C-alpha cells in the first residue's frame, strides 16, 4: 500500500478559521444597538460590550497574552465575565474558568495543572485567588475592585486596631458585602494588584479577533472531581460554535427578541454554551444574576419580561416554591430548558402549570461541550426523556461492564451505558492521555451514565453508573425512586442513594426536603413509595434535611449523603 505524504489539505489542518469570539463580534456588527445584557437595572448593548471587550483584549495583549496562552477566570455572572471570556478568545488564547467556591489550594491546583499564564479574578475571589496565584507563581489582575486596590494583611487588623487606610475592599461583585482581607501568609507588605479596568482604559483596543483553527482549544473546563482528581476537559472552537448552531437550527427557536434568564453559573459548560454563546449568537438579551435566588429571579424575569428560562432541576424546584409564596405577575415565558441532572416529571408538570411554559429537558456533559440531546421545540416533547441527539451527534447504548472496548447492545430499550460520538466530543483531558484513552474507546465517549435508547431515538437517562444501588442482587435506579417520591405533596426535593449494608449489600435511603409549611412522617413516605414500586426498590430509611449538598452545576452530591449517613449507621 502506498503511503501518502502529510498534506494540510488532506489531514484536517487546512486553512479554515473559526473562533468562538466571532459570536459576540458578529452580533455587535449586525445589531450594535440591541441589548446584550441586563444587569443590576442597566442594559448593555452589543456594540458597547464588544467595544469594552476589545479594550480588555488590548490590555491582556499588553500583559503578554496571545495565541495558545491560558487565562484562568474567577468571575461571577456579571458583565465582566463576558468581557474577559471573549477578550481571551479574541486573542486566540484559552479560557480556564474556575469554580467560584474553590479554596486557595483548589485554585492553585487548577492553575498548575492548566499551565495558566494569568489569573483574572473578581474582587470577591481575591482572598482565595491571591495566595493561590502567589504559590503557583502566576500573575494576577482583578476586576470589579474599587480603587485603590491595596489589601492589608489579616495580621494587621487585630480586633481592637483602628481600621487600616486605605481600607480593604468593601464591596464585592454582587455588591452584597465586604471582601475578606487577604491571608497574612501573603506577607507584611500589602500587595499591589492591577485592575484590568484601568489597564483597559490605557490600552490600545484590538481591531479584530485573532484567527484560530476550528479544532484549536477554546476552553479548559475542570470536571468536578467526584471520582478522583479533577481533570481539565479541553473543548474546541468547532465543538462550541457547531453546538450553538445546531441548537438554534434544530432544537430551540430562540429569537433575537427573546430575553433569556442567565442564572446558570457561567464558569460551567451549561451556562457558557446554552445561555451565553447561544443567546449571543442569536442576538438575544440575557439577564445576569450573580448568585441564584428564586425570589429575585422571578422579580428580574418579570421586570425584563423574560421569555426563556434555562436551569438545573434544583432551580426549577426553588422557583416553584418561591412562586407559591407570591401573588405577583409571572414572566411571559415561551419555554424553558432543563439540564444538568434528571428532572422529575412531577416537577416538570408543576413548573408548566405555574409558569405556563413547556419544559424541554436535555442532556450533556462537560466533555460534550455541553449538549448531547434535547427535547426539540419542533416536535412533541416526551416527558421523562432527554430527547433525541443533536444533529451530527450519534448516541448508542453499550454493555457497561465491558472495559477496553465498546460492545453495543442491539435491542432498543435495553439498559446500558450511554456512549456518544460526534463533533461535540472534547479534544481530551489536558496532560492525561491515559484518562483520555479510557474515556474515548473505539471512537465512542463513555459517559458513565446508564440509560436506554428507544426505537425512534429518544434517550432516557436511568442513572449514573456510580450511583446505581444493588440491593439483594437487584439493581435500583435512584432517579426512578426519586420520581415517585417527588409526587408526594409534602416533598420539595429528594435524593435517593445507597448506604452499605451487611445484610442486603446496600440499603436504599432517601434524603428529603419538605415543602414550606408541610410535615410528613418517614413511614408515610416509605408507604407512599411502597404502593407504587416493586418491593426491592422503595426506600427503607428516610432522612429529613434542610438542604441537599449541591455541586458546581447544581447536581446533588450523593456521595456526600452516602458518607454522612453511612457514618451514622
pLDDT averages per 10-residue partition of the chain, 569 residues: 77 90 98 97 96 98 98 98 98 96 91 98 96 97 81 38 31 37 44 90 97 97 71 97 95 97 92 97 98 95 97 92 84 95 90 97 94 96 95 96 94 94 97 95 95 96 87 83 93 93 88 93 95 90 94 82 86
What is the structure's pLDDT at 154?
A: 39
- Contact between 354 and 323 (Cβ < 8 Å): yes
For residue 161, how many other CB atoms are within 10 A of its CB? 9
Domain boundary among 202, 231, 249: 202
Measured CA to CA, the distance from residue 203 to residue 120 in angstroms comes to 17
Query: In terms of DSSP bridges, do strands 541-544 and 505-514 run parallel, antiparallel, or are they unpaired?
Result: parallel
The dihedral over CA atoms of 549, 552, 554, 556, expressed in degrees to the nearest 10, equals -40
Name beta bridge partners: 453.
Answer: 459
Q: Is residue 212 part of a domain?
A: no
Residue 248: all three cell numbers together: 438554534
| pTM summary value | 0.85
What is the SS3 string spanning 323-382? HHCCCCCCCCCCEEEECCCCCCHHHHHHHHHHHCCEEEEEEEEHHHCEEEEECCCCCCCC
Measured CA to CA, the distance from residue 82 to residue 86 in angstroms comes to 6
Q: Is residue 168 part of a domain?
A: yes
Measured CA to CA, the distance from residue 259 to residue 43 in angstroms comes to 12
Domain boundary among 202, 222, 249: 202
Q: Is residue 96 part of a domain?
A: yes
Q: Is residue 555 part of a domain?
A: yes
Q: Is residue 238 part of a domain?
A: no
Q: Is 76 helix (H, G, I), strand (E, B) or coil?
A: coil
Measured CA to CA, the distance from residue 464 to residue 533 in angstroms comes to 20
Strand ranges across the sheet with 118-122: 194-195, 139-143, 118-122, 70-74, 94-97, 217-222, 232-236, 428-429
What is the structure's pLDDT at 178?
A: 36
Name beta bridge partners: 384.
Answer: none
Cis peptide before 32 (omega within 30 of 0): no
Domain boundary among 168, 185, 202: 202
Where would I find the beta strands (DSSP E) of 14-98? 35-39, 42-45, 70-74, 94-97
Q: Is residue 245 part of a domain?
A: no
Measured CA to CA, the distance from residue 174 to residue 376 in angstroms comes to 35
What is the structure's pLDDT at 325?
A: 84
What does each C-alpha distance from 23 to 36, 245, 308 come to in angstroms? 12, 11, 20
Whole-number CA gyration radius for the chain: 24
Cis peptide before 51 (omega within 30 of 0): no
Q: Provide the domain count of the chain.
A: 2
Phi-psi region of 377 (alpha: psi -120 to 50; beta: other; left: phi over 0): alpha
Residue 219: all three cell numbers together: 476552553
The dihedral over CA atoms of 122, 101, 446, 395, expressed in degrees to the nearest 10, equals -60
Q: Is 493 helix (H, G, I), strand (E, B) or coil?
A: strand
- Contact between 336 and 309 (Cβ < 8 Å): yes
130-156 per-residue burial string, b: 16 or more CB within 10 A, e: under 16: bbbbbebebebbbbbbeeebbbbbbee
Structural domain boundaries, residue 27: 21-34+45-202
Q: Is residue 60 part of a domain?
A: yes
Residues 6 or more apart whose Cβ sits within 8 Å of residue 506: 469, 470, 471, 498, 499, 500
What is the structure's pLDDT at 37?
A: 98
Residue 512: all three cell numbers together: 428529603
Which CATH number does the domain housing residue 544 bear? 3.30.300.30
Which stretch of DSSP H or E encloses residue 525? helix 522-530
Q: Is residue 2 part of a domain?
A: no
Q: What is the largest CA-CA distance in the chain?
A: 83
Amino acid at each position: 500500500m502506498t503511503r501518502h505524504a502529510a498534506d494540510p489539505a488532506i489531514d484536517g489542518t487546512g486553512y479554515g478559521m473559526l473562533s468562538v469570539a466571532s459570536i459576540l463580534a458578529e452580533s455587535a456588527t449586525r445589531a450594535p444597538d440591541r441589548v446584550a445584557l441586563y444587569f443590576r437595572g442597566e442594559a448593555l448593548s452589543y456594540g458597547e460590550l464588544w467595544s469594552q471587550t476589545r479594550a480588555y483584549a488590548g490590555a491582556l495583549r499588553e500583559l503578554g497574552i496571545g495565541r495558545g496562552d491560558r487565562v484562568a477566570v474567577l468571575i461571577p455572572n456579571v458583565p465582566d465575565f463576558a468581557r474577559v471570556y471573549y477578550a481571551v478568545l479574541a486573542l486566540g488564547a484559552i479560557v480556564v474558568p474556575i469554580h467560584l467556591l474553590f479554596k486557595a489550594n483548589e485554585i492553585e491546583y487548577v492553575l498548575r495543572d492548566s499551565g495558566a499564564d494569568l489569573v483574572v479574578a473578581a474582587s470577591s475571589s481575591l482572598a482565595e485567588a491571591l495566595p493561590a496565584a502567589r504559590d503557583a507563581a502566576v500573575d494576577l489582575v482583578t476586576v470589579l475592585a474599587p480603587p485603590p486596590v491595596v489589601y492589608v494583611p489579616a495580621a494587621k487588623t487585630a480586633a481592637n486596631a483602628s481600621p487600616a487606610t486605605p481600607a480593604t475592599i468593601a464591596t464585592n461583585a454582587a455588591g452584597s458585602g465586604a471582601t475578606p482581607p487577604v491571608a497574612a501568609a501573603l506577607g507584611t507588605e500589602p500587595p499591589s494588584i492591577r485592575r484590568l479596568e484601568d489597564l483597559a482604559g490605557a490600552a490600545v483596543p484590538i481591531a479584530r479577533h485573532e484567527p484560530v483553527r476550528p479544532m484549536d482549544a477554546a476552553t479548559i473546563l475542570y470536571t468536578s472531581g467526584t471520582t478522583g482528581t479533577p481533570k481539565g476537559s479541553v473543548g474546541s472552537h468547532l465543538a462550541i460554535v457547531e453546538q450553538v448552531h445546531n441548537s438554534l437550527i434544530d432544537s430551540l427557536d430562540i429569537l433575537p427578541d427573546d430575553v433569556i434568564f442567565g442564572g446558570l453559573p457561567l464558569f460551567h459548560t451549561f451556562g457558557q454554551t446554552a445561555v451565553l454563546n447561544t443567546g449571543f449568537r442569536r442576538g438575544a438579551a440575557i439577564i445576569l444574576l450573580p448568585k441564584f435566588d428564586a425570589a429575585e429571579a422571578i422579580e428580574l424575569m418579570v421586570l425584563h419580561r423574560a421569555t426563556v428560562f434555562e436551569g438545573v432541576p434544583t432551580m426549577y424546584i426553588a422557583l416553584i416554591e418561591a412562586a407559591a409564596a407570591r401573588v405577583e405577575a409571572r414572566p411571559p415565558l415561551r419555554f424553558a430548558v432543563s439540564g444538568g441532572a434528571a428532572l422529575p416529571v412531577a416537577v416538570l408538570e408543576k413548573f408548566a402549570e405555574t409558569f405556563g411554559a413547556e419544559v424541554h429537558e436535555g442532556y450533556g456533559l462537560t466533555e460534550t461541550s455541553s449538549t448531547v440531546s434535547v427535547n426539540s421545540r419542533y416536535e412533541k416533547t416526551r416527558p421523562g426523556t432527554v430527547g433525541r441527539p443533536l444533529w451530527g451527534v450519534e448516541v448508542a447504548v453499550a454493555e457497561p461492564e465491558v472495559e477496553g472496548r465498546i460492545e453495543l447492545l442491539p435491542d432498543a430499550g435495553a439498559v446500558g451505558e450511554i456512549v456518544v460520538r460526534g463533533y461535540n466530543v472534547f479534544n481530551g483531558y489536558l496532560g492525561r492521555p491515559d484518562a483520555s484513552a479510557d474515556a474515548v474507546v473505539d471512537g465512542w465517549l463513555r459517559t458513565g451514565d446508564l440509560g436506554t435508547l428507544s426505537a425512534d431515538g429518544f434517550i432516557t437517562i436511568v442513572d449514573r453508573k456510580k450511583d446505581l444501588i444493588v440491593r439483594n442482587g437487584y439493581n435500583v435506579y435512584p432517579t426512578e425512586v426519586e420520581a415517585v417520591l417527588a409526587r408526594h405533596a409534602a416533598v420539595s426535593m429528594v435524593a435517593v442513594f445507597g448506604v452499605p449494608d451487611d445484610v442486603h449489600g446496600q440499603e436504599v435511603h432517601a434524603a428529603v426536603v419538605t415543602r414550606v409549611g408541610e410535615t410528613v412522617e418517614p413511614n408515610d413516605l416509605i408507604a407512599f413509595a411502597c404502593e407504587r414500586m416493586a418491593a426491592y426498590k422503595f426506600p427503607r430509611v428516610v432522612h429529613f434535611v434542610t438542604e441537599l449538598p449541591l455541586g458546581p452545576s447544581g447536581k446533588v452530591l450523593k456521595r456526600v449523603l452516602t458518607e454522612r449517613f453511612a457514618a451514622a449507621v
